[in-house]
Amino acid sequence: MMMGGMGIFWILLVVVLALVLWKALCRPDAGSHRQESPEEILKRRYAGGEIEHEEYARRLQDLRR
């Protein structure tokens, strides 16, 4: 009887570890490190307040040439 309980314990431990690894490695963003385009970077910087509207407009115009 005791051996059956230990067997279940080890099986559950392996299943839990497998699920943890699967969650860590199979995140939606894992492996899909898509490169941001220059326009996306510029939009993110403008939205974050790093650059002013005039600089955003000037750089966007430069990128679209």
Q: How far apart are CA 49 and CA 46, in angstroms?
A: 5
Domain count, the chain: 1
Which pLDDT score, from 0 to 100, does residue 6 have? 84
Q: Which domain holds residue 20?
A: 2-26+35-63
Mean pLDDT of 1-5: 67
Q: How far apart are CA 9 and CA 59, in angstroms?
A: 60
Q: What is the 3-state secondary structure (H, E, C) of the chain?
A: CHHHHHHHHHHHHHHHHHHHHHHHHCCCCCCCCCCCCHHHHHHHHHHCCCCCHHHHHHHHHHHCC
pLDDT in tens, 35-61: 889 999 999 999 999 999 999 999 999
